[in-house]
Amino acid sequence: MVARLLLRAWPRRPGVGPGAPRRPLSAGSRPDQYLQRSIVPTMHYQNSLPRLPIPKLEDTIRRYLNAQKPLLDDSQFRKTEQFCKSFENGIGKELQKQLVAQDKQNKHTSYISGPWFDMYLTARDSVVLNFNPFMAFNPDPKSEYNDQLTRATNMTVSSIRFLKTLQAGLLEPEVFHLNPAKSDTDTFKRLIRFVPSSLSWYGAYLVNAYPLDMSQYFRLFNSTRLPRPSRDELFTDDKARHLLVLRKGHFYVFDVLDQDGNIVSTSEIQAHLKYILSDNSPAPEFPLAYLTSENRDIWAALRQKLVNGGNEETLRKVDSAVFCLCLDDFPIKDLVHLSHSMLHGDGTNRWFDKSFNLIIAQDGTAAVHFEHAWGDGVAVLRFFNEVFKDSTQAPAVTPQSQPARTDSSVAVQKLNFKLNDTLKTGISAAKEKFDATMKTLTVDLIRFQRGGKEFLKKQKLSPDSVAQLAFQMAFLRQYGQTVATYESCSTAAFKHGRTETIRPASTFTKRCSEAFVRAPSKHSAGELQQMIAECSKYHGQLTKEAATGQGFDRHLFALRYLAAAKGISLPELFLDPAYGRINHNILSTSTLTSPAVNFGGFAPVVPDGFGIGYAVHDDWIGCNVSSYPGRNGREFLQCVEKALEDMFDALEGKSIKT
């Protein structure tokens, strides 16, 4: 099982993937076909992005030992220190030399890209819970627009507008602006577009702007992860023009782009979706979608049987569809129900292998559930934000709009699969396994209303560090120990960057947590404030190191991967129980905030862990925690709340209540 999520992702103008342009801008393209018309080409910065640095081996070892300190007792730490010294002065030095040499020969990519794809695609666990996360949209501010048909039509049209804008090279490049008053201006954009692509990154850098890697974007659409024995395959067919819709376990396809590459009229899309919503067919006895939740080798074998049984062309329509729209037949009861529905559902109405599923419940509650091998959250979050903005500010239809008078029974094709007894048995087994697994997952949520980003920034503290410190205090209070903790950080500021790990559990957080949990009365408010400030400062340092490619996790992963690829016996460093323990991430955490996001979530990455999706808003802090039997998520969140209360009390100069 692998930790994941989330944040900000080569194509050359005007196309968006390797090779030739895809759908050209048609001469008669209407303005409503695009979300925006950026004067700076989408991929303008891609060729000049800096390369992901390989850290010095001694820096990685130092950082690794710092992260191990709070997790080990003195004798364990001395053993780990010894393994590290032997590695650094021996085989590690040779592996580092080979990694650097290999990286110099592959200047078109990053040293982590290949191994990271391999890590995801060779994993044989089900993608459900183990890898795929979700992000839930906020409701449309205009309540009447949350009608399922209206919202499904608007979000579908906005999604296709995003696709067309991206493919035409008209989507604003993804840039992190440190000084938007200088860099996020029309004047700067008019100048930078004339700077050659090979130099454009440097022009942005001069005004404190950092363009981000967008190489993952071309996998957003028309893409699917295909199960294969031992190693899966990422498939993309950029010529396909149809949408895949799932409802009650049935599969439907219809074209959303015409032969010229223009979006089909919105009233027709609305009519086709209305037609699908009115289909009263009972749910299929053997819902095929369950197979995408299976172990990857089992699914690969069953898929081959599907192909051999005459379903190849039908499967091709599923795999090549622009994306998968899931229309659920029930309203969302509450946020816990929302989490379960969007993270896994009942297994019948999701194609978990698709690059993303856009899910819309009966009451218009919407979310994106995405497969993780093809990319990280950067491309998904950008798509998510743009679709929310466009569908709410420039909706294609209104609640009063009338669907086109068209024969949807001709335009919409219902896909039928030929299933033999072996496949039916396989689907039944997958369903049984799915149902049993999902019953074990618990989800709990809190909203801490006392304050958020605004208050913490006034205290000159990193809001993220305070949230992470609360998790450390909570686990210590609940279980009496400090454990391996993972926080995802994007390295999209580099060409083909993926993610790096921030290790929030430190000697600083351990000392501070023990003071708050075990002996608050022995410390003055000033002393507690000082400890929180030290944690914040160190967390800021770790975050900066991770974002600039100077963490230790990916570097060690690459060295281990290289040793295995070269047939070298695994170095003792990687056989050390402490290495296994720090990579057994009991607290797996990820944060994102956006005006479009209600919240996001994912499952724990280890059976005895917590999956923690959180967000620090201006005046409140939200936290969504998933767990399996053996861990109590509700109790953990009560401890998180207590930790936040205590810290806010200390920051306000009050004494801590026991």
Backbone angles phi, psi at 629, to 5 degrees: -55, 140
| Inter-residue contact 269 to 256 (CB < 8 Å) | yes
Instruction: Tell me how far apart the alpha carbons of residues 204 and 574 are, in angstroms, rounded to a whole number.
Output: 40
Instruction: Tell me how far apart the alpha carbons of residues 444 and 450 are, in angstroms, rounded to a whole number.
Output: 19
Instruction: Tell me how far apart the alpha carbons of residues 356 and 225 are, in angstroms, rounded to a whole number.
Output: 10
Helix (H, G, I), strand (E, B) or coil at 267: helix
Half-sphere CA count of 647, side-chain side, radius 13 A: 35
Q: Are strands 324-327 and 242-247 parallel, antiparallel or unpaired?
A: parallel
| Inter-residue contact 230 to 205 (CB < 8 Å) | no
Instruction: Tell me how far apart the alpha carbons of residues 105 and 511 are, in angstroms, rounded to a whole number.
Output: 45
Helix or strand holding residue 326 (H, E): strand 324-327
Burial of 247 (0-12, 13-18, 19+ CB in 10 A): buried
**Catalytic hit among 344, 372, 539, 555:** 372
Q: Determine the residue type at 69.
A: K
Bridge partners (DSSP) of residue 626 are 443, 611
- The closest of 315, 360, 329, 36 to 171, measured between CA atoms, is 36
617 is catalytic: no
| Inter-residue contact 543 to 46 (CB < 8 Å) | no
Instruction: Tell me how far apart the alpha carbons of residues 571 and 650 are, in angstroms, rounded to a whole number.
Output: 46
Instruction: Tell me how far apart the alpha carbons of residues 103 and 101 are, in angstroms, rounded to a whole number.
Output: 5
- The closest of 406, 86, 437, 430 to 267, measured between CA atoms, is 406
| Inter-residue contact 355 to 370 (CB < 8 Å) | yes
Residues with catalytic roles: 372
